[in-house]
Amino acid sequence: MLVTGNEILQEAHKNGYAVGAFNINNMEIIQAIIAAAEETKSPVILQASQGGIKYAGIEYIAALGKVAAENASVPVALHLDHGTDFEEVIKCIRHGFSSVMVDASKFPLEENIAKTKLIVDIAHSVGVSVEAELGKIGGTEDHIVVTEREATFTDPDEAVRFVEETGVDSLAIAVGTAHGVYKGEPKLDFDRIKTIKEKLNIPLVLHGSSGVPEESIKNAVYLGINKVNIDTDIRAAFAQGVKDFLKENPDNIDPRKILGPARLRMQEIIMDKMHIFGSAGRA
Ligand code: G3H
Ligand code: ZN
């Protein structure tokens, strides 16, 4: 069933677990995520980035996401990931997304607050949940590039002001993770997660979670993370599935035969994540 981001994340916040938010770009990825959620009895968030929407088309991605959610036996939210463009955010709300992220993190605090509050007022008036970002998460996610030098951790006191003034439902915090493939092992600032959670008491979001060691993710969830974003690990599983099949069957031209094993490969890693995040068995 299609539910709001808030319905899923408030439950996770109250009960101390996290829900996976997986990036969607095509039908096979969506099917893999839903199959994993049903198999593990887990609530789940399907999230499309602006780049994903550009690739698939808003009508296609919204329709696929809604059909998937409405036919699922578990709660599913359809979420816009890193909405940096006002019109894009509004378009998603119009197309039935149940949750949006406004990412104005590259702007100074006052401007981030103003841009986020505008979306919160609009989204809340039609029952759509809102995530925002404070601090700057490093790495590359589609068109958003933040170098190591530019990345800045979230300030806990600024976070209190930000949430009070915007009325946002959940907050993405910068605590040492980065988008894309890691060069070394990421070092998370666990004390910062703990401090922010104590001050805010709302669902917190961890971006750039692919490639983060299992123990670090579990600790972050224990300290207050309730939404864990995964994109790169799904891309890697998809690509590996396709490569392995074509290596074995170089003459096969059937898209179903080529993409089927990749879909299964993605489902397996997503199921693992659902166990690690603690969302398995919560639906
Ligand atoms: O918003 C999406 C996520 O933060 C994905 O990050 O590609 O490092 O898993 P990732
Ligand atoms: Zn992200």
Q: Quick one: average pLDDT of 93-108?
A: 98
Give me the CATH number covering residue 74: 3.20.20.70
186 Cβ inside 6 Å of ligand 1 = no
180 Cβ inside 6 Å of ligand 1 = yes
Has residue 283 been placed in a domain? no
Please list the residues that pair with 80 across neighbouring strands.
48, 100
Q: Quick one: average pLDDT of 252-260?
A: 98
Distance 254 CA to ligand 1 centre (A): 30
Task: Dump pLDDT digits (tens) for 20-40.
Answer: 999 999 999 999 999 999 999
Q: What is the pLDDT of residue 4?
A: 98
202 Cβ inside 6 Å of ligand 1 = no
Ligand 1 atom 10, closest CA: 208
Give the ligand whose atoms come closest to the C-alpha of residue 136: 2
pLDDT > 90: what percent of the chain? 93
Parallel, antiparallel or unpaired: strands 144-146 and 138-141: antiparallel
11 Cβ inside 6 Å of ligand 1 = no
179 Cβ inside 6 Å of ligand 1 = yes
Is residue 197 within 8 Å of residue 204, measured between CB atoms? yes
Out of 81, 103, 169, 233, pick the active-site residue: 81
**254 catalytically annotated:** no
Has residue 31 been placed in a domain? yes
Residue located via tokens 């951790």: 153
Q: What is the pLDDT of residue 110?
A: 98
Give the ligand whose atoms come closest to the C-alpha of residue 178: 1
Has residue 62 been placed in a domain? yes
Q: What is the pLDDT of residue 234?
A: 98
Instruction: State the total domains in the chain.
Output: 1
Query: pTM of the predicted model, to two decimals?
Result: 0.97
In the predicted model, is pLDDT for residue 149 greater than 80?
no
Distance 108 CA to ligand 2 centre (A): 19
Please list the residues that pair with 171 across neighbouring strands.
132, 204
Could you tell me the pLDDT band of residue 1, with boundaries at 50, 70 and 90?
very high
Q: Quick one: average pLDDT of 167-171?
A: 98
Which atom, in ligand 1's list, is nearest to the CA of 81?
Answer: 1
| Residue range of the domain that includes 273 | 5-277
**Which tokens belong to 73?**
């036996």
